Structure 1
Amino acid sequence: MALSESAPSFTSFRALGFDVFSTLIDEPKALVTAIAPLVSQLSEDHEAKNSSAIAGAAFGRHENALQQKEPFMIFEDVLSAAYRALAREWHVKSDDKDANAVAAILSRSSAFPDTVEALHVLSKHYKLIALSNVSEKGIATVMSGALKEAPFDAVLTAEKIGSYKPDLRNFETLMGKVKDLGFEKEELLMVAQGVASDHVPSKRLGINSVWISRDRPESERGFDGIGAEHAGNVAFGWRYCTLGDMAKDVEKSFAAGSS
């Protein structure tokens, strides 16, 4: 759904940048499994005991903090360290085997049901570029597994870039890749679930973006649900609950343009 009548037509873009985890891959579901050994030790009255969203957000805080503090730390090590940090925060025991398994669980998690089909639809009209906070090893697992049939034209990782999103270098690298493909920044559209990781830096660099809200209820509209801390810091022009919904609108736009 376009959030403004002044939003450009989907036909004006030539390349799509994609966040991978939580946009294409069901990271929240996998994370429930990964941190279950910690959650199981919490008292029944702990807020994270019966809320996967709260538990996942707690893990995410540690993951994001480590990524910004240690931009050259490999993705797998970031996740293991975040697991141990969360255990300390919750005052529960952390097993090394469980901590080291987090990356494998996430990298082998499933794609959302709409992901691969939607990517094939979108690939008829755009070049597709993945921009992920992951290692070369991690993205190789994803691309040979859940996204094996996904028609990406390029894949960019935090390990290769040397920083994690929301660092602007990651998005500058994306823009460079778009340039290599023969297009301009104005022809790039970023597609992502992550608000702080993707939409905030996109606005800073003047990149148009689409919010795939995934975990937000259909009853919310527009910018609802982004969080007060991000108000005024994002400027995505479209919002969809799924990538499949976006793909349908893209098809309609190109069909109308050719009629």
Structure 2
Amino acid sequence: MQVAPANFKVLTFDVVGTLIDFETGLTNGLKAIAEESGVDLDGEAALALYGECRRDDQAGKFPDDLARCYQIIAARFGLPEGEAEGARMVEAVAASPAFPDSVAALRTLGKHFRLVAMTNAQRWAFERFSTALADPFWKAFTTDDTGTEKPDPAFFEHVFSDLSGDGITRADILHVAQSQYHDIGISRRLGITNCWIERRHGRAGYGGTIAPESFTEPDFHFTSLAALAEAVEA
């Protein structure tokens, strides 16, 4: 599947889950606490519960909301509850690594397009994620900047409005993301060409990401960011 650079001027990216491996950061943090407590933790079950927590009406901003979500996970799996442990989880997720292919693929894609981050993360956490990705972005929009979170159309409209000042139209944008719930479905409804990076390819379920009410067939589909970069170079 080839992606012609001439068709787009900008790639907009979901960051957490697409470029940053937050599931590894989350499970590593939980498993460290579990090992200290002598608890045998089911990582996939914990991720699924986290996804449920993020759908809750009480959900706060990411990743600070990990402090709240941790208490729910701890109660379910018999982990120690407390503010210190919650703070550890916020830090563990903020320190999540980039996927192994992210930095090189972004470097390649940056030769052909302007790269724009669109993340539900708070600005303080995004700055850490951007550093882990070698700071590849031309522009970045966080939940602090937009005042809302994807999949709220207002998040996307904020970005479109800003980019229009640089002469960029919706037709110039390819939105790249792993979350069907936060990105692929809403980008389709807003008329934006999208590219689904199926990071959980070969694994069941949606992991720590909120499950969508229905699956959206993407315009482009790859199982890694490296594969997208290769398709562009081809």
Q: The residue matched to 1:190 in structure 2 has which SS?
A: strand
- Tell me which residue corresponds to 2:104: 117
Query: For structure 2, which runs of at least 5 residues remain unmatched after alignment?
Result: 205-209
CA contact (8 A) 1:80 1:100 kept: yes
Superposed CA offset, 1:61-117 (max 9, x none):
202325xx55xx443431211111223344653132121122221222211111111
CA contact (8 A) 2:25 2:93 kept: yes
Which whole-Å CA distance do the structure 2 matches of 1:159 and 1:171 have between them? 14
Query: For structure 1, which runs of at least 5 residues remain unmatched after alignment?
Result: 3-7, 221-225, 253-259
AA of the residue aligned to 1:238: F
Which whole-Å CA distance do the structure 2 matches of 1:43 and 1:116 have between them? 35
**Percent of paired sites with the same residue:** 28
* Aligned CA-pair RMSD: 2.6
Compare 242-251 and 161-170 and name the one that shifted more: 161-170
State whether structure 2 residue 65 is matched by structure 1 residue 78: yes
State whether structure 2 residue 6 is matched by structure 1 residue 11: yes
- CA pair 140-239 structure 1, distance change in 2 beyond 3 A: same
Which whole-Å CA distance do the structure 2 matches of 1:92 and 1:106 have between them? 17
CA contact (8 A) 2:181 2:212 kept: no
The one of 104, 113, 122 equivalent to 2:91 is 104
Q: Which TM-score applies when normalising by structure 2?
A: 0.86
Give 1:121 deviation, angstroms. Answer: 1.0
CA contact (8 A) 1:38 1:94 kept: no
AA of the residue aligned to 1:13: F
- Tell me which residue corresponds to 1:60: 51
- CA pair 137-13 structure 1, distance change in 2 beyond 3 A: same
1:20-99 matched pairs, under 5 angstroms: 20-36=15-31, 49-50=41-42, 52-66=43-57, 69=58, 73-90=60-77, 92-99=79-86
CA contact (8 A) 2:115 2:136 kept: yes
CA contact (8 A) 2:5 2:113 kept: no
- CA pair 91-43 structure 1, distance change in 2 beyond 3 A: closer
Which whole-Å CA distance do the structure 1 matches of 2:221 and 2:23 have between them? 20
Q: Which TM-score applies when normalising by structure 1?
A: 0.78
- Tell me which residue corresponds to 1:163: 148
Q: The residue matched to 2:158 in structure 1 has which SS?
A: helix
Q: The residue matched to 1:36 in structure 2 has which SS?
A: helix
The one of 149, 154, 157 equivalent to 1:172 is 157
AA of the residue aligned to 1:107: A
AA of the residue aligned to 2:142: T
Give 1:26 deviation, angstroms. Answer: 1.2
